[in-house]
Chains A and B, each alone.
Chain A
Amino acid sequence: MEICNSYSSSSVDSTNPSPSEYSVNLSLSLTFPSTSPQRARKQDWPPIKPRLRDTLKGRRRLLQRDYDTCLFVKVYMEGVPIGRKLDLSTFSGYESLLENLSHMFNTSIICGNHRDRKHHVLTYQDTDGDWMMVGDIPWEMFLETVRRLKITKPERC
């Protein structure tokens, strides 16, 4: 696997006659050479148009996923002993997840921000084993850390 690195560890003779332009960076940097922070901020490499750059930044990190990888998690509703199983990879984001769950459990479920007495709140258990409110982190990050879901009564949160 090639990791982009700076000149100090490059095996090829650096032919650039103005070394002052490039900082010697001994850390394993994943940005491009001329690793000065200014250049990294300038967003002028690789040569792609701003619109594509923005699109890619917002892209969900499904890089290592094959088509056949799905993400089934258990879903329990508080007070109901029998749970369901749900493939999270079929959802595009929190909205579609909530909609689907609300439908599945025949109740209204929301994410944490707009709590009130009427709606259930969706929570999840992450890789650390902690129970967290759904919706705080970006969707793709959520997919990477979610282990199971629980629909809780509003008072609990």
Chain B
Amino acid sequence: MNYFPDEVVEHVFDFVTSHKDRNSISLVCKSWFKIERYSRQNVFIGNCYSINPERLLRRFPCFKSLTLKGKPHFADFNLVPHGWGGFVQPWIEALARSRVGLEELRLKRMVVTDESLELLSRSFVNFKSLVLVSCEGFSTDGLASIASNCRHLRDLDLQENEIDDHRGQWLSCFPEAYTSLVTLNFACLEGETNLVALERLVARSPNLRSLKLNRAVPLDALARLMACAPQIVDLGVGSYEDEQDSESCLKLQAAIRKCTSLRSLSGFLEAAPHCLSAFHPVCHNLTYLNLSYAAEINGSHLIRLIEHCKKLQRLWILDSIGDKGLEVVASTCKELQELRVFPTDLQGGGNTAVTEDGLVAISAGCPKLHSILYFCQQMTNAALITVAKNCPNFIRFRLCILEPHKPDHVTSQPLDEGFGAIVQACKNLKRLSVSGLLTDQVFLYIGMFATQLEMLSIAFAGDTDKGMLYVLNGCKKMRKLEIRDSPFGDTALLADVNKYVTMRSLWMSSCEVTLGGCKRLAQKAPWLNVEIINENDNNRMEENGYEGRQKVDKMYLYRTVVGTRVDAPPFVWIL
């Protein structure tokens, strides 16, 4: 390859798109490093504090797409206090000052302001795609800037963000001449929507493929929208209060029948039980069905819908479907690859909607299943062993037994053997979440068998530091480890400091780690930011007597090449 001109090498590199592969390419030799740098189009930064914008621009001057992730994963569950960090503003400012022709920005768990969105919309002429996932800090005014100024916008995809809805006219800010919309997802907006502006926008968007509405879009508007956009592939229904036999309902049914390209259905944020039947005609083509917000619809209606969905590949559903419903899924959805079953009863009141039986049925019926997230009230080792035998192809296995420390409900034993069977059988397992009563033994199994594991979530598990040590020593590919309410302490934390070079981050909260231990780690590992998050005391920890032995409530450490961050709030102490 050294005898080829750079342009040829670069052309070859164009076919290599995965970040990991491109990172590998850049390590081969100086010449490849240089060619790869200038030709990298998509940059992925898994932790926005691992690097800064200036160094990013120095390494990759010509990228078009940037993905940035901010807060740690447990922030999704209220474990990271408000104001912790993950601000996108400095990034957008730096990119705006540079000559980067940014076209796509994907942010996850970051703080985005209206100011940021305004700056973004004005700085990049060819900006095409904005995807915000689990972000916060902005309002519909920011969306109005994007709509007004981004002439070539294709995608505006807002997934599960906290957006201050000023009930303004952001939808009417898209210019009349603007017709390039492909994706519009505003399902997470809570306020009223200008339906007229929305309908006009959809009507002048012939390329629209994905439309996800919020709860303020009622049935009759949905009917009109679908009639304007029969080419739709991905639909998120907003509100669907049932008015059987009404004119709107009939119009909707007619419109739905014309949507022959529809492959993906979600939403039903406010839906009466009988509404799903209108969608039966298109079910046979659906590959993705997300009913995880359809809390009003009971099991039997869900089942009747799913019976028609023979081509389903991804299903996200609430546990109101029940074990019986999962048996229907198992016998109907032979193409199923990913299943997520979310809980409806958060109080643990004994509503055993789905049990180990449902999980076993799915594993037996769906040969292509590789990803599962399953919330349930009870589990047994026997069931997990059966699941492992049925499905050795799991890449992601996340089981959440709602009651912490709950043992096998038949034998009263810990669930070590069950999870052990999973990691032993599933040789490609990359992501695992464990729950229920677990001793150090399960971690011995994980360390021994889960050789490909990259992300592990532990809650209320283990006995001693040995548990965590098994994992740190055994899982060579571990990147993200997050632990809460487990008895792991300084010994495990400090055993192998170099482990944190190959890992992106470690989160430990309500464990046995002490301030002294964290300080020792920070000293030994200057390439790490060791953050102590202490929202209640505001650093009074320093003044207390038993400082070294004081337990740390929340610790988040991550590798970085740019040292301590400067935007940390007072309750975050970076050692």
Q: Please, which residue of chain A has its CB at the minimum distance from the CB of B409?
A: A2
CB of A11 within 8 A of chain B? yes
Residue in contact with A56 in the complex, picked from B241, B346, B402, CB distance below 8 Å: B346
Residue in contact with A12 in the complex, picked from B76, B274, B412, B462, CB distance below 8 Å: B412
List 12 contacting pairs A-B, 8 Å CB cutoff, sorted by A. A2-B406, A15-B462, A15-B463, A15-B487, A30-B348, A31-B347, A32-B348, A46-B343, A47-B74, A56-B346, A67-B298, A96-B241
| 4 shortest interchain CB distances as A-B pairs | A4-B348, A67-B300, A59-B295, A1-B350
Say yes or no: B405 contacts A10, CB within 8 Å: yes
B residues 332-369 near A (Cβ < 8 Å) are: 342-352
> Which residues of chain A have C-beta atoms less than 8 A from B493's C-beta?
none
Say yes or no: A47 contacts B77, CB within 8 Å: yes
Say yes or no: A92 contacts B242, CB within 8 Å: yes
Q: Please, which residue of chain B has its CB at the minimum distance from the CB of A34?
A: B485
Say yes or no: A46 contacts B400, CB within 8 Å: yes
Q: A16-B487, A18-B487, A67-B298 are in contact. Are A46 and B375 (CB under 8 A)?
A: yes
Q: Please, which residue of chain A has its CB at the minimum distance from the CB of B344?
A: A56
Given contacts A2-B352, A12-B405, A47-B400, 6 further A-B contacts (CB under 8 A): A17-B512, A49-B160, A56-B346, A59-B296, A65-B298, A92-B272
Say yes or no: B347 contacts A52, CB within 8 Å: no
Chain A interface size range: 35 or more
Give Cα A67–Cα B305 distance, bound, in whole angstroms. 14
B residues 474-516 near A (Cβ < 8 Å) are: 485, 487, 510, 512
Say yes or no: B296 contacts A46, CB within 8 Å: no
Say yes or no: A12 contacts B407, CB within 8 Å: yes
Say yes or no: B296 contacts A60, CB within 8 Å: yes
> Which residues of chain A have C-beta atoms less than 8 A from B349's C-beta?
3, 30
CB of A42 within 8 A of chain B? yes
Say yes or no: B350 contacts A2, CB within 8 Å: yes
> Which residues of chain A have C-beta atoms less than 8 A from B568's C-beta?
none
Say yes or no: B292 contacts A52, CB within 8 Å: yes
CB of B428 within 8 A of chain A? no
CB of B6 within 8 A of chain A? no
Say yes or no: A62 contacts B298, CB within 8 Å: yes
CB of B134 within 8 A of chain A? yes
Give Cα A63–Cα B320 distance, bound, in whole angstroms. 8
Give Cα A59–Cα B270 distance, bound, in whole angstroms. 10
> Which residues of chain B have C-beta atoms less than 8 A from A30's C-beta?
347-349
CB of A51 within 8 A of chain B? yes
CB of B544 within 8 A of chain A? no
Give Cα A18–Cα B512 distance, bound, in whole angstroms. 9
**Residue from the set A2, A42, A50, A63 with the largest chain B CB neighbour count within 10 Å:** A2
CB of A21 within 8 A of chain B? yes
Residue in contact with A47 in the complex, picked from B298, B378, B459, B462, CB distance below 8 Å: B459
Say yes or no: B412 contacts A11, CB within 8 Å: yes
Say yes or no: A53 contacts B352, CB within 8 Å: no
> Which residues of chain B have C-beta atoms less than 8 A from A130's C-beta?
none
CB of A58 within 8 A of chain B? yes
Say yes or no: B405 contacts A67, CB within 8 Å: no
> Which residues of chain A have C-beta atoms less than 8 A from B348's C-beta?
3-4, 30-32
> Which residues of chain B have C-beta atoms less than 8 A from A43's C-beta?
78
> Which residues of chain B have C-beta atoms less than 8 A from A67's C-beta?
298-301
Instruction: Give the Cβ gap from B345 to chain A, nearest Cβ, in Å.
Output: 7
Give Cα A63–Cα B402 distance, bound, in whole angstroms. 17
Say yes or no: A2 contacts B377, CB within 8 Å: yes
CB of A128 within 8 A of chain B? no
A residues 104-130 near B (Cβ < 8 Å) are: none
CB of B293 within 8 A of chain A? yes
> Which residues of chain A have C-beta atoms less than 8 A from B345's C-beta?
63
CB of A44 within 8 A of chain B? yes
Q: Please, which residue of chain B has its CB at the minimum distance from the CB of A99?
A: B243
**Residue from the set A7, A43, A52 with the largest chain B CB neighbour count within 10 Å:** A52
Residue in contact with A48 in the complex, picked from B241, B343, B409, B462, CB distance below 8 Å: B343
Residue in contact with A63 in the complex, picked from B301, B351, B512, CB distance below 8 Å: B351
CB of A66 within 8 A of chain B? yes
> Which residues of chain A have C-beta atoms less than 8 A from B295's C-beta?
55-56, 58-60
Say yes or no: A4 contacts B301, CB within 8 Å: no
Instruction: Give the Cβ gap from B513 to chain A, nearest Cβ, in Å.
Output: 12
> Which residues of chain A have C-beta atoms less than 8 A from B512's C-beta?
17-18
CB of B437 within 8 A of chain A? yes
CB of B61 within 8 A of chain A? no
CB of A135 within 8 A of chain B? no
> Which residues of chain A have C-beta atoms less than 8 A from B439's C-beta?
15
Instruction: Give the Cβ gap from A3 to chain B, nearest Cβ, in Å.
Output: 6
Q: Please, which residue of chain B has its CB at the minimum distance from the CB of A14?
A: B405
**Residue from the set B77, B162, B349 with the largest chain A CB neighbour count within 10 Å:** B77
Give Cα A63–Cα B79 distance, bound, in whole angstroms. 29
Instruction: Give the Cβ gap from B269 to chain A, nearest Cβ, in Å.
Output: 8
Q: A4-B403, A31-B348, A62-B298 are in contact. Are A49 and B242 (CB under 8 A)?
A: no
